[in-house]
Structure 1
Amino acid sequence: MDLHHVQAFLAVAEELHFGRAADRLHIAQPPLSRTIKQLERELGAQLFDRTTRSVRLTSAGEALIEPARQIVDGFRVARRAVESAGRGKTGRVRMGFAGPSSYRLVGQLGRTVREKHPGIELSLRSRTFNDEALRAVMDGDLDLAIVRWSIEPPGIDHRILTVEHHVIVVPEEHPLADRDQVSMAELRHEPFVMLPADPGSSVRDGFIRNAHAAGYAPNIVQTAPDSWTAMALVAAGVGITFSIDVAVANVVQEGIRAIKLEEGRTPTYSRLIWRSGDTNPALRAVLAASEEALPTPDLPSGAR
């Protein structure tokens, strides 16, 4: 028994007339009669009582009507689902991001996707730092990610989302708290709270790079799993931290002060990344939504 048999049965059951059922199915009457006989042999039961003047359902035929309708309806639902997925109306897009610096971006994108594409699930994975996110997108474990980089990797398309600057975050009672700007050289003897070395935070990499350029290895007294925790530790007086202005702006934490960093005058950029050539229609729909939710900002000359 296949869908063709079921559709033929329903046409005859609803019309109770082989001629009208054949017209409805756009076939001749003899092939329809043969199809019904094949179905009856398959099921081992007579479905219709036929005379030269009338067609009536048998008890077996009556019992088959509702299951037959469910089969046809199920096929229609399956076909619509496939067609919708092919047009990017349904599907699942997996997105990774690190933490507070991306919360506002992720929220805005999630709202726009929900409004414009309610059939698409935006599956979010937080605490996915730079190196881990890049590998996951390149390997196909993620479809999208928000990252920062100094060297553009192969096989990745991207778009800049934010322009950012490095800052130093200190407790509000710290001797440097009233300063408008500090240099990394002035922080040589400070205790630092920083993100872990693994899985590769771009903020931590920038911190180490700037400290080495200033001529010292920094004194990291505490690691924190995310920027939110780092800010709380700073407020508690455990140390100071190196961060970016966007992350500080997205953390609600009393008792801290962000100070501009002399070495932070050259901006960094957060980027939305995806695999080059990815043809997933749901991904393409989300990328189109991102153009509205997260438009590319005005960029300094030469930024890309």
Structure 2
Amino acid sequence: MELRYLAAFVAVAEELHFGRAARRLHMAQPPLSQLIRQLERELGVQLFERSTRSVRLTSAGESFLEPARRVLDDVDLAKLAVKAAATGEYGRVVVGFAGASSHAALPRLARAVRAAHPGIDLVMKVQTYASVALDGVADGTLDLSFVRLPADRPGVRTRVIDNDELVCALAEDHPLAGETAIDLADLAFEPFVSLPAHAGSTLRDAMVGVCEERGGFTPRVVQEAPDSNTVLALVSAGVGVTITLTSVEHVCRGGLVYLPLAGPSVPMRAALAWRPDNPSAALRAVLAVAEEVLPTPPE
């Protein structure tokens, strides 16, 4: 069975119109009809029900469509692999990400990799928290991860891609919502909403640390939530206040006010993490693209 038979069949099956399928294949309609008849003779079944006004797949045609697509896809993949093998631009890179703060950088990197190295398959693995994604790099289950510093895993290298800051999120009707900046001491008796303490959240640790250091208190967490979206929704509903990141302000705008913390800014640096001993040429190609589209910002 020749590949041109399969390409002809798939085109007609998807268009359900011989004229459109012929134009898609850049050929005349009579030769296309002849290819389909030859394929049907070879298979010994009728693949299409034809009338003067319509074309429909038979049950045999419906059964044949997905296997035919897979064969054509595999041929395309084989061609791509041969072309990319000479340059090392072929392979699979497993990327871990967590939290709303990586949602802007991740698509930018993915689009750039697809454009520069179409033979590299980026497999996205969503993690609950950045610390979990970092663990995945350390144990080798992930090739690359979006993380938050500090990231202290043996054998893992990081590069900063964004400088974030801590801010306070309050309901828009909160008594402090009209301030230009939040003195953390003013939040000492406020209820807080936060990510879970047991999950190793870098943001949770930063929130507790800055409240203790600048405000002289440990935040009283009355409600925990699994992600920033839910945390901010609860803050908007008046359940409590929270300390979050400037990069997640886009997650929830309605009913919220984001205010800077009084005093020096508290940086929370976003980074990429990988193992330098990972032998993957595809990973090195992705890291090179990341250098261009996600450069390290000035301090």
Q: What is the TM-score when the length of structure 2 is the normalising length?
A: 0.69
One-letter code aligned to 1:170: L
Residue number in structure 2 paired with 1:225? 226
Residue number in structure 2 paired with 1:49? none
Q: Deviations over 1:69-106 (max 9, x none)?
A: xxxxx99x869737735743222111112221110000
Q: Deviations over 1:218-243 (max 9, x none)?
A: 11111111111111111111111110
C-alpha contact 2:108 2:293 (8 A) present in aligned 1: yes
When residues 264 and 194 of structure 1 are mapped into structure 2, their CA distance, relative to the original with a 3 A threshold, is: farther
Residue number in structure 1 paired with 2:60? none
C-alpha contact 2:99 2:130 (8 A) present in aligned 1: no
5+ residue gaps, structure 2: 1-73
One-letter code aligned to 1:273: A
One-letter code aligned to 1:290: A
Shift of the alpha carbon at 1:204? Answer: 0.5
Measure the CA separation in 2 of the matches of 1:151 and 1:127: 16
Write the mapping of 1:150-229 to structure 2, written as runs, cut at 5 A. Answer: 150=150, 152-213=152-213, 214-229=215-230
Q: State the Cα RMSD in Å.
A: 2.4
Shift of the alpha carbon at 1:163? Answer: 0.7
Write the mapping of 1:279-298 to structure 2, written as runs, cut at 5 A. Answer: 279-298=279-298
C-alpha contact 1:184 1:263 (8 A) present in aligned 2: no
When residues 87 and 139 of structure 1 are mapped into structure 2, their CA distance, relative to the original with a 3 A threshold, is: farther
Shift of the alpha carbon at 1:284? Answer: 0.8
Residue number in structure 2 paired with 1:302? none
C-alpha contact 1:171 1:255 (8 A) present in aligned 2: yes
Partner of 1:165, secondary structure, is strand
When residues 229 and 108 of structure 1 are mapped into structure 2, their CA distance, relative to the original with a 3 A threshold, is: same
Partner of 1:141, secondary structure, is coil
One-letter code aligned to 2:241: I
Aligned length in residues: 225
C-alpha contact 2:233 2:252 (8 A) present in aligned 1: no
When residues 202 and 152 of structure 1 are mapped into structure 2, their CA distance, relative to the original with a 3 A threshold, is: same
Residue number in structure 2 paired with 1:11? none
Write the mapping of 1:77-156 to structure 2, written as runs, cut at 5 A. Answer: 81=81, 84=84, 87-150=87-150, 152-156=152-156
C-alpha contact 2:193 2:239 (8 A) present in aligned 1: yes
Shift of the alpha carbon at 1:286? Answer: 0.8
Partner of 1:292, secondary structure, is helix
One-letter code aligned to 1:189: F
- Bigger drift between 204-213 and 83-92 goes to 83-92
When residues 80 and 187 of structure 1 are mapped into structure 2, their CA distance, relative to the original with a 3 A threshold, is: closer
C-alpha contact 1:87 1:281 (8 A) present in aligned 2: no
One-letter code aligned to 2:291: E
5+ residue gaps, structure 1: 1-73, 300-304
- Bigger drift between 106-115 and 214-223 goes to 214-223
C-alpha contact 1:194 1:224 (8 A) present in aligned 2: yes
Shift of the alpha carbon at 1:216? Answer: 2.2
Percent identity between matched residues is: 42
Measure the CA separation in 2 of the matches of 1:204 and 1:262: 19
Partner of 1:131, secondary structure, is helix
When residues 192 and 88 of structure 1 are mapped into structure 2, their CA distance, relative to the original with a 3 A threshold, is: farther
One-letter code aligned to 2:284: R
Measure the CA separation in 1 of the matches of 2:108 and 2:182: 33
One-letter code aligned to 2:91: G
One-letter code aligned to 1:182: I
Residue number in structure 2 paired with 1:240? 241
Shift of the alpha carbon at 1:150? Answer: 3.0
One-letter code aligned to 2:273: I
Measure the CA separation in 1 of the matches of 2:164 and 2:80: 44
When residues 151 and 126 of structure 1 are mapped into structure 2, their CA distance, relative to the original with a 3 A threshold, is: closer
Measure the CA separation in 1 of the matches of 2:245 and 2:209: 15
Shift of the alpha carbon at 1:200? Answer: 1.2
One-letter code aligned to 1:187: L
